[in-house]
Amino acid sequence: MLKFLFKGLVRDRSRSLFPILTVFIGVALTVFLYSYLNGFVSDMIKSSAHYNSGHVRIMTKAYSQESNQSPNDLAIIGIDPLIQNVEKSYPDMIWTPRIKFGGLIDIPDRNGETRIQGPVSGMAVDLFSKESRERKFLNLDESLVKGRIPEKPNEILIADDFARRLKVAPGDTATLLSSTMYGSMVMTNFVIAGTIRFGIAALDRGAIITDISDIQKSLDMNNAAGEILGFFKDDNFDSKKAYRIRDSFNEKYKNSEDEFAPIMGALPEESGLSDYMGLIDIASFVIIGIFIFAMAIVLWNAGLMGSLRRYGEMGVRLAVGEEKGHIYRTLILESIMIGIVGSFLGTLFGLIPSYLMEIYGLDLSFLFEKSSVMITGVLHADVTYETYLIGFIPGILATVLGTSIAGIGIYKRETAQLFKELEA
Amino acid sequence: MSNSFLIRTEKLYKKYPMGPTVLVALDNINITINKGEFVGLVGPSGSGKTTLLNIIGSLDSPTEGSAEVLGNKIETLSHQDAAKLRNNHIGFIFQTFNLLPVYTVYENVEFPLLLQDIPPAKRIELVMQALEWVGLADRKDSKPSQLSGGQSQRVAIARAVVKKPELILADEPTANLDAKNSHNIMETMVKLNEELDTTFIFATHDEKVMKYLKRKITLNDGYVQRDENISLNNQ
Ligand SMILES: Nc1ncnc2c1ncn2[C@@H]1O[C@H](COP(=O)(O)OP(=O)(O)OP(=O)(O)O)[C@@H](O)[C@H]1O
Ligand SMILES: [Mg+2]
C-alpha cells in the first residue's frame, strides 16, 4: 500500500509538488532562522565568556556584590593556592586570573607635560605564560590593528578608536593614573605596543589590555586578582555542567561568614544573559509555531483542492471496499511522505545560508556602535545537530495537521451516492 | 445452510422525502437471487434500478424491510462491516469505468488485492489471470488514458473480478460503448459467469444486451413489474 501511495505521489505532481514546495519554503526558513538565533545566542555567550565572565567565575563574596564596579580593594588574595585547588577539583576546566581596573590614561607631550587624558577601562590578563590561552580568548592577534602584541613587561595594548582620539601610536608612552588595592594613588608608565579593535563597541571605546603581573605590581596586588575565570577546555559553554561545578564549589564555603570567602557564579547570571537565553528559547518556539500554523493553513487548502480533484479516486476506493478510516489514514501517510521529503529538502537548503553565515558572518557592526552589550557586530549562524532536526517538526506537523483537517470531508462522504457520482 | 440464495429482499422500500410528499423509489421489492445467476434490472429512467443496486451493494440501506446479501442484513450493517462486505465479496462496474488515471492497468486491477493483505506472489498471479480473462494481459503497463472505452471497461471488469467475488454489480456497463464493444463486454461477463460461477446483476436499458440475460427483472416506478427467466423460456 505504501508503494501504491508513493507511486501516486510521484506520478501525479499536482498531489506532491505544491505541498512539497510549501513545506520546503517553510522548513528552509525555519532552519535558517533557528540557526541564526542560535548563532546570535552562542555569539553572545562566547563574547561574554571571553571578554567578561568566563564560563564560571570566582570572586570574593564582597566583590561579587559590586562586580560591575571592579572593586579591587575586595579582590581575592592568595590566588595561586586557590587556582591549584580548583584545577585539581575540576580538571575539565582552565582557570585564569584577571584584574579589571579603571583610571585615567595620561599622554605626555614632548616636554613631559600632559597633552591629553582619557578614562580607561582596563583588563589585566595573563599574556606571557606559555600555557595561557588569553591571547586566543580575547582574539588579540586578529584584533590587532597597528603594532604588535606585548612581549615584555610594561607594554600595553590600547583600543584603536581610543588611540586615534588620544592621537597616539605604537611606541608612544602612556601613564596610567589609578589607585592601589589599598586605596593610594599610583602612576605607572607604559609603552603602547599595539592598537586593537575587538568589534565590540563597549570595549572599543576606552579599553587597554596589560599583562596581569604589571598591574599586580603597580596596583600593589601581589598574588591577588579581582576574578578567577574558568573555561571549559573545549570552550563550549555547557550550562548544566557549569551549574554543577558552581554548586559544588559554593557548597564548601556555604557556612563562611567571611566576606572575602570565594564564591563562584556561572555565565548566565554573571553576564546578565540568562533572560536573553530564555527569550531566545521562547522565540524559537514562537517561530516554529508560526510556521506550523501558516504552513498548515496553506496545506489544508491544498488538501481541500486535492480532495476535489481526487473525488473520483476516493469514490472508487470506497466502492471497492476501502474503509473511510483507512482512506483517511492513507492520506495522512501521504502527507507524512510529503512532509519528510519537503523537510529534507528544506533542511538542506536552509543549512546552506546558515553554514555560509556561520563561516563568513554578516557584518552589522554599524548597528551596534552605541551599544553597551557584549556582542560582536558580526552576526554568525550556529549549526548544531538540533538544526538538522528542527525543521522536521513544523514540516511534518504542518502537513499532517493540514491533511487531517482537509481529510475530514472523507467522513462526510455519502457512500449511498457513489454509483450516481461515478456515473457523472 | 438450507437456504441456498445469495440475495433476498423482503418488503423492501426506499423512500425519499420530497418536500411535503414522499418519493417512493423502491416499492415493496421481494426478490430472491441465487448463486450463479445472470440478472438484468431493466426499466425506464427513474424506475429505481440504481437504487436497488446501491442497496444490494451495501452502499445504501433500505428505509423499510430487509435485504439480505451473502448472509448479511444490509439494514443492520455498520460502515466498517459494509466496507468489509464490499471488499471481500462484491465487485462493482460503473458506466464510466472509473479507473485511477495515475496508475497502470496492472496497478488498477491490483488495487482491491492491496486492501486484502494478499502476498505479492499471489497478487501477481491473480492480476495476470484477471487480465487474461478480459484479454488485456499485453496492455498491463498502459495508462488508462491510452486505452479505448471498450478496453477501459474490460480493465474495470478485471478489477471487479480479480478478487473472485461471489457477486458483481454493474450499473449500465455498456451505456458508453459502441455496439461491437458492448457485445464484447457482455460476452466477457457471460464467460466469467459460466466459468467462475460468479453472480452478475446489472442495471441496463440497452436493447443490445437483452439477449444475453438469463433473467430479466423489470422495474417500473419502483415496483417489480415483471420477473422472467429467459433461458428457461427459450429452451
Ligand atoms: N438521493 C436521492 N434523493 C431523492 N430522490 C432520489 C435520490 N436518489 C434517487 N432518487 C429518486 O429515486 C428514483 C429512482 O432513481 P434511480 O437512480 O434508482 O433510477 P434509475 O432506474 O437508476 O434511472 P436511470 O435509468 O436514469 O439511471 C428517481 O425518481 C430518483 O429521482
Ligand atoms: Mg441509474
- Is residue B16 lining ligand 1, measured as CB closer than 6 Å? yes
Residues of A in contact with B100 (CB under 8 A): 313, 316
pLDDT over 50 (residue A309): yes
Q: What are B37's three cell numbers?
A: 445467476
The alpha carbon of residue B181 and the mean position of all alpha carbons in its chain are separated, in whole angstroms, by 18
Say if CB B171 and CB B202 are below 8 A apart.
yes
Residue A76's beta-bridge partner residues? A225
Q: How far apart are CA A308 and CA A311, in angstroms?
A: 5
Q: What is the full per-residue pLDDT of chain B (235 aa) written as tens digits?
A: 445 799 999 999 999 999 899 999 999 999 999 999 999 999 999 999 999 999 999 999 999 999 999 999 999 999 899 999 999 999 999 988 899 999 999 999 999 999 998 999 999 999 999 999 999 999 999 999 999 999 999 999 999 999 999 999 999 999 888 999 999 999 999 999 999 999 999 999 888 888 999 999 999 999 999 999 986 544 4
Q: What are A137's three cell numbers?
A: 580568548
Other Cβ atoms less than 10 A from the Cβ of B71: the count is: 11
What does the pLDDT look like over B170-187, one tens digit per residue?
999 998 889 999 999 999
Nearest ligand to the C-alpha atom of residue B41: 1
The DSSP symbol for B88 reads: H
Other Cβ atoms less than 10 A from the Cβ of A7: the count is: 14
Nearest ligand to the C-alpha atom of residue B52: 1
What does the pLDDT look like over A218-257, one tens digit per residue?
999 999 999 999 999 999 898 899 999 999 999 998 888 8
Question: Given the C-alpha cell 497502470, which residue does it identify?
Answer: B104
**pTM for the model:** 0.80
Q: How far is the CA of B192 from the centre of ligand 1 (A)?
A: 29
CA-nearest residue of chain B to A424? B96
Any B CB within 8 A of A422 CB:
yes
Task: Please tell me the distance in Å from B233's CA to the nearest CA on chain A.
Answer: 32
Among B50, B84, B90, the residue with its CB nearest the CB of A419 is: B50
Helix A13-48 to helix A2-11 angle (10° resolution) is 90
Split at pLDDT 50, 70, 90, the class of A399 is very high
Q: How far is the CA of B6 from the centre of ligand 1 (A)?
A: 25
Residues of B in contact with A321 (CB under 8 A): 83-88, 90, 112, 115
What residues have a C-beta under 5 A from ligand 2, the ion?
B 50
Chain A / chain B CB contacts < 8 angstroms:
85
- Is residue B23 lining ligand 1, measured as CB closer than 6 Å? yes
- Is residue B218 lining ligand 1, measured as CB closer than 6 Å? no
- Residue from B102, B105, B118 to probe the interface with A (highest A Cβ count within 10 Å): B102
At residue B137, the 3 state secondary structure works out as: helix
At residue B169, the 3 state secondary structure works out as: strand
| Three-state secondary structure string covering chain A | CHHHHHHHHHHCHHHHHHHHHHHHHHHHHHHHHHHHHHHHHHHHHHHHHHHHHCCEEEEEHHHHHCHHHCCHHHCEECHHHHHHHHHHHCCCEEEEEEEEEEEEEEEECCCCCEEEEEEEEEEEECCCCCCCCHHHHCCHHHHEEEECCCCCCCEEEEEHHHHHHHCCCCCCEEEEEEECCCCCEEEEEEEEEEEECCCCHHHHCCEEEEEHHHHHHHCCCCCEECEEEEEECCCCCCHHHHHHHHHHHHHHCCCCCCCCCEEEEEHHHHHCCHHHHHHHHHHHHHHHHHHHHHHHHHHHHHHHHHHHHCHHHHHHHHHHCCCHHHHHHHHHHHHHHHHHHHHHHHHHHHHHHHHHHHHHCEECHHHHCCCCCCCCCEECCCCCHHHHHHCHHHHHHHHHHHHHHHCHHHHHCCHHHHHHHHHC
For residue B104, which phi and psi values (nearest 5 degrees)? -75, 170
Residues of A in contact with B171 (CB under 8 A): 419, 423
Buried b (16+ CB within 10 A) or exposed e, A216-226: bebbbbeebbb
Say if CB A232 and CB A238 are below 8 A apart.
yes
